[in-house]
Amino acid sequence: MKMTDEGVKLIMTFEGFRAEAYKDPVGVWTIGFGHTSAAGEPAVAGGLKVTREEAEIILKRDVENFATGVAAKVTAALDDAQFSALVSFAYNVGLANFAKSSVLAAVNKGDLAAVPRRLQMWTKAGGRVLPGLVKRRAAEAALFVSGPGSDETASAPVEPVPGKVLPKSTTALAAIISALAGLLGLSGLAQHFVVLTSLAIAGGAAWVLRERHRISKQEGV
CATH fold of 5-154, please? Lysozyme (1.10.530)
d(CA 109, CA 102): 10
Per-residue pLDDT of 94-142, as tens digits, reads: 999 999 999 999 999 999 999 999 999 999 988 889 999 999 999 999 9
Residues with catalytic function: 15
Average pLDDT (6-29) is 95
Name 110's Cβ contacts closer than 8 Å, sequence gap at least 6. 76
HEC per residue, 98-146: HHCCHHHHHHHHCCHHHHHHHHCCCCEECCEECHHHHHHHHHHHHHHCC
Give the DSSP H/E element, type plus range, for residue 84: helix 80-93
For the whole prediction, is pTM greater than 0.75? no
**Model pLDDT, residue 217:** 45
Residue 67 has pLDDT above 90, yes or no: yes
